[in-house]
Amino acid sequence: MGKSKFGTYIVLGALLGGAVSLLDRSTRKQLVGKSKKMFSTVRYYSQNPDALQTKIQEKMDKYDTMYEKFSEDASYIKEKVDEIKQLTPQVKELVVDTKEAFVESKDEYKAMINEQSQEELGKQ
């Protein structure tokens, strides 16, 4: 069986696409500018490894702080969810009791209105 040339053609297509894109002047300027900036940054940090270490440490501290904050927030939310789970049966019972009280009151009011209506009819 013949060897597949798919990967080879993909790489050649990417190289050809990159070469065609460099025909545009603004793209070339942008590529040159970014390359110069990258090389100057690499040169600076190769000459000043302490600065690189400090910058990395600052980033690590920042991410550690973010992780701690996220962990605190997650545990707080978990606590509140657990509280809600515990309160849900109590709230359900309270709602049922309130509903029953309103139904009983409604029946009592109906009975009182009926009695009052009958008394008024009896007086006439």
- State the amino acid at position 38 in one-letter form: M
Structure confidence by residue, pLDDT tens digits, 86-96 = 877 777 788 88
pLDDT at 123 over 70: no
Structure tokens at 92: 């359900």
Structure tokens at 108: 């009592």
Q: What is the mean pLDDT of residues 59-77?
A: 92
Domain ranges, ordered by start, for the chain: 1-47
Classify the C-alpha dihedral 58-61-67-69 as positive or negative: negative
Per-residue model confidence (pLDDT) at position 85:
81
Q: How far apart are the first and last CA of the chain?
A: 112
Express as a percent the part of the chain with pLDDT over 90: 51
pLDDT at 1 over 50: no
Structure tokens at 106: 């409604």
Q: Which residues of 88-121 are buried (b: 16+ CB within 10 A; e: fewer)?
A: eeeeeeeeeeeeeeeeeeeeeeeeeeeeeeeeee
Query: Which carries the bigger pLDDT value, residue 88 or residue 62?
Result: 62
Per-residue model confidence (pLDDT) at position 2:
56
Token pair 């809600």 is at which residue? 84
Per-residue model confidence (pLDDT) at position 100:
82
Q: What is the mean pLDDT of residues 43-68?
A: 94
Helices (H) and strands (E) in the chain, counts: 3, 0
Q: What is the mean pLDDT of residues 10-33?
A: 93
Express as a percent the part of the chain with pLDDT over 70: 92
Structure tokens at 44: 């600076």
Put simply, whether the predicted model's pTM sits higher than 0.85 gets the answer no
Per-residue model confidence (pLDDT) at position 95:
80
- State the amino acid at position 119 in one-letter form: E
